Amino acid sequence: MACISTLFFLSARVPMQFRVKFWELTACKRKTWLSWSLQRCCSSDTSLSSSDHLSSGLERYRDLQKYFRRRLKDAYHRFSNIPDYSVVSGHHHLYSTEEDGIYRMDKKQSHLEPEQVLNLRQISGELEKTGLENNKRKQRFQWTVQRIRLSPQERHLAASLKCTHTEELRCVVVRLERRRFLPLHPQHVTLTLEKVFSFEWATDEILFYSTLEGLRSSAVFRLDLTSSGSRITSVFEEMQPDVFVEVALTRDRQILTINCNSRTSSEVLLSDIATSNLDPFVVQPRQLNLLYHVEHWRGRLIILANTGLGQEYQVVQAPVSEPSMDSWVSLFAPEPGTTIKDMDVVGDHCVLVARTPVSELALIVVPLIHPKNAYIVQLPSWACAIKTKKPGLADQQNMLEFLISSPVHPPVPYCLHPENGLLLSGTGDGSSPENQADYITTRLEACSQDGTFVPVTLFHTVPVEHLRQAPLLVHVYGAYGRDLNMEFYPEKKVMLEQGWALAYCHVRGGGERGLFWHRQACVGGKRRGVEDLQACLHHLFSLGVSSPSLTALTACSAGAVPVGALCNRHPLLMRAVTLQAPFLDVLGTMEDHSLPLTLEDRDEWGDPVGNPEHRHIITSYCPLHNITPQHYPSMLLTAYSGDNMVPLAGVFKYTEQLKKAVHTHSSMKPKSECKPAPNIALNIQPGANHLGTEDFELMLEEEALKLAFLYMELGLDPPRPPRKRRR
């Protein structure tokens, strides 16, 4: 997959879509994070007490939190067996991650016991004893597996590991030998590499990898495994501080790419694995506002570049021998209003993930031999998120496997055969594992202040005209050109089943309608995202969807900016707000050049130090610097003690100033005129980073607290558990 999302990795205050994943809970596993692939969690015993003294205002929700924790745990286990792409397929074995390491199973002898190839207990050095429960000693492993890469002939395995509750990264290389019969000892760990972010095999003996220092990935190295040991040499180093570097393989495994992306430009280096000369060469030198991503097909480069109309993405091609922009020839440009979100080369076809003018996901298949014969493959109307499978060593290269989902629809597997347009669903009829007939997905558009139409996706169980009394949870992000996260989460499905309506507002600053949608709300246009959110709420209310007294807003990270700004401007539009890892002090953060993301973030927020106009604009909307005595909605702020992207100081300062403003407002009004004071609650999670806790039990506590907060602040009765039938 041409990884467009790479542009926004660590160098952005990203939404927290990489939380504990429901389908891995039975083995206490979790999804990714420092990569975009699956990561596993091997720990389930942690303490809430270490940061309790920093939290405040939570006690009133504890009883209801316990109730929702039980409900959520049941919901997560209910979806523990839905499909994912965590199994890696080699020529001879299937590799999977369990709580204590990586195992493989012989494809031809599946009756044999799986063989362990990597033992996390050995990597950790020793087991940490975390207490007794039911007279059984619980164990905690220090490292979690993030991703696995097999060498071309399956002679070696490389796996990236992350240290639990820290940012420390490690890559281990394992020599794969023939199966060892009892006793089953793990395979031999050949080498351990520190601070490895991305890595790919060029040959069975050569591994390319990039390293991560703090929040920067700028260097690429080459590991050569020899009969006498190993040798590491430097391959590439990026000098620009705002550029993030990673290595990747094209889908056909013929070309290794070194992708050097910033927010505003790209530069890709290629290494032709098919030749003996692996020295990388540049495709197109860096050029301001030029973004591109590279795939390979039959000696030609298939390039996704923003050289189309309005600087949007189109598909071009060039020979590998002459890859520069002068040789680029257009293959396909989407119709106006259709935006390309990602690209894959499958056999002799280019498959594009696209968003249509009505904001639905679709696939566009472009035959590379006859590109004028491109056609569209419609996906189910409820599809909001798509995840493609990275093919294994022995997988077919002429079909595309992928999962589609929505916040309330569990992932459904699909397989596309581009040569004939055949689209097959793993469930036969394309439905989710559970009956979704009662779930309605409605696509709306709200007219913003400047006349721009803003997409809104609404999930509900009854017709829109019957939603006036329904509680409404509104989601928003709107930054860094990233689409609002719309993957499946069991808690969203639970809320829908209990009569909630869920709205997703795709405000400007995100990427839902292309690159221009992001450009519209950068720096001087940041206030547009706030105006868009306000327009979305007004439009929903005008349609008869809920009311301000039954409405709550939720956002993560930089999504807190439009929410916090709207709370300052129009606090009566909502009753409650939940924010996770919230970015609330835009001005103070962008003034502090010692913080890790300040320089890179100038393209997004502006430079208040060197540009007086930027300072004026930021000051006009910054949530922290516009707090005023008035009646605010109740607010639950969740922050993480290990967050190095959003400074905790800004969260503390915002919380204290908001409490003071609420108190001042209450003291200014006669008691007879005072409304009940809003509750401002702060939840500090210990040890977790910007992406939240990796521990399943802690994640349940956090999500249950949010539900308890929403129900109490909106004055809702907790849902009654279903009655058991009498025999």
Give me the DSSP letters along 378-400: E--TT--EEEEPPP-TTS-SS-E
Q: How many CB atoms lie within 10 A of CB 218?
A: 18
In the residue annotation, 242 being an active-site residue is answered as: no
pLDDT along the chain (727 residues), means of 10: 50 49 32 27 34 75 95 92 87 91 90 89 56 40 86 96 81 85 62 95 96 93 92 96 95 96 96 87 97 97 97 97 97 97 97 97 98 97 95 87 96 96 77 63 98 98 97 98 96 96 98 97 97 98 98 98 98 98 97 90 95 97 97 97 90 97 89 82 89 88 97 91 54
| Residue 66 and residue 199 in one domain | no
Is residue 339 included in any domain, yes or no?
A: no
Domain termination site, one of 201, 234, 249:
249
pLDDT at 42 (0 to 100)? 31
Domain termination site, one of 217, 249, 281:
249
| Residue 523 and residue 610 in one domain | yes
Residue 272 · residue 249 · CB < 8 Å: no
| Residue 153 and residue 69 in one domain | no
Backbone angles phi, psi at 42, to 5 degrees: -115, 20
pLDDT at 489 (0 to 100)? 95
C-alpha dihedral over 616, 617, 621, 622, to 10 degrees? -70
CATH number of the domain enclosing 689: 3.40.50.1820
What is the C-alpha to C-alpha distance for residues 163 and 139, in angstroms, rounded to an integer?
15
Of the candidates 84, 100, 601, 643, the residue annotated as catalytic is 643
Question: Helix, strand, or coil here: 316?
Answer: strand
| Three-point CA angle 389, 392, 393, nearest 5° | 155
| Three-point CA angle 108, 110, 115, nearest 5° | 105
Is residue 575 included in any domain, yes or no?
A: yes
| Residue 226 and residue 146 in one domain | yes
Residues forming beta bridges with residue 281, ordered by sequence position: 270
Give the domain range for residue 151: 86-121+141-249
Residue 457 · residue 476 · CB < 8 Å: no
Is residue 48 included in any domain, yes or no?
A: no
| Residue 477 and residue 493 in one domain | yes
Is residue 35 included in any domain, yes or no?
A: no
Residue 254 · residue 273 · CB < 8 Å: yes
In the residue annotation, 124 being an active-site residue is answered as: no
What is the C-alpha to C-alpha distance for residues 556 and 563, in angstroms, rounded to an integer?
10
| Residue 566 and residue 510 in one domain | yes
Residue 456 · residue 539 · CB < 8 Å: yes
Backbone angles phi, psi at 575, to 5 degrees: -100, -30
Residues forming beta bridges with residue 519, ordered by sequence position: none
| Residue 547 and residue 600 in one domain | yes
Residues forming beta bridges with residue 130, ordered by sequence position: none
Of the candidates 93, 539, 690, 695, the residue annotated as catalytic is 690
Q: How many CB atoms lie within 10 A of CB 637?
A: 25
The strand pair at 314-319 and 329-332 is best described as antiparallel
| Residue 578 and residue 695 in one domain | yes
| Burial (CB count within 10 angstroms: exposed 0-12, middle 13-18, buried 19+), residue 714 | buried
| Residue 94 and residue 68 in one domain | no
| Residue 145 and residue 75 in one domain | no
Whether the model clears a pTM of 0.85, i.e. scores above it, the answer is yes
Backbone angles phi, psi at 307, to 5 degrees: -105, 10
DSSP structure class, residue 56: B
In the residue annotation, 252 being an active-site residue is answered as: no
Backbone angles phi, psi at 132, to 5 degrees: -110, 140
| Residue 74 and residue 153 in one domain | no
Segment holding 81, helix H or strand E: none
| Residue 570 and residue 605 in one domain | yes
Is residue 132 included in any domain, yes or no?
A: no
* Domain count for the chain: 2
Domain termination site, one of 249, 271, 293:
249
Of the candidates 557, 601, 614, 695, the residue annotated as catalytic is 557
CATH number of the domain enclosing 240: 2.130.10.120
Which is nearest to 559 in space by CA: 6, 33, 15, 9? 15
Is residue 101 included in any domain, yes or no?
A: yes
What is the C-alpha to C-alpha distance for residues 490 and 481, in angstroms, rounded to an integer?
26
pLDDT at 396 (0 to 100)? 75
Is residue 519 included in any domain, yes or no?
A: yes
Q: How many CB atoms lie within 10 A of CB 725?
A: 5
C-alpha dihedral over 369, 372, 376, 377, to 10 degrees? -20
Is residue 333 included in any domain, yes or no?
A: no
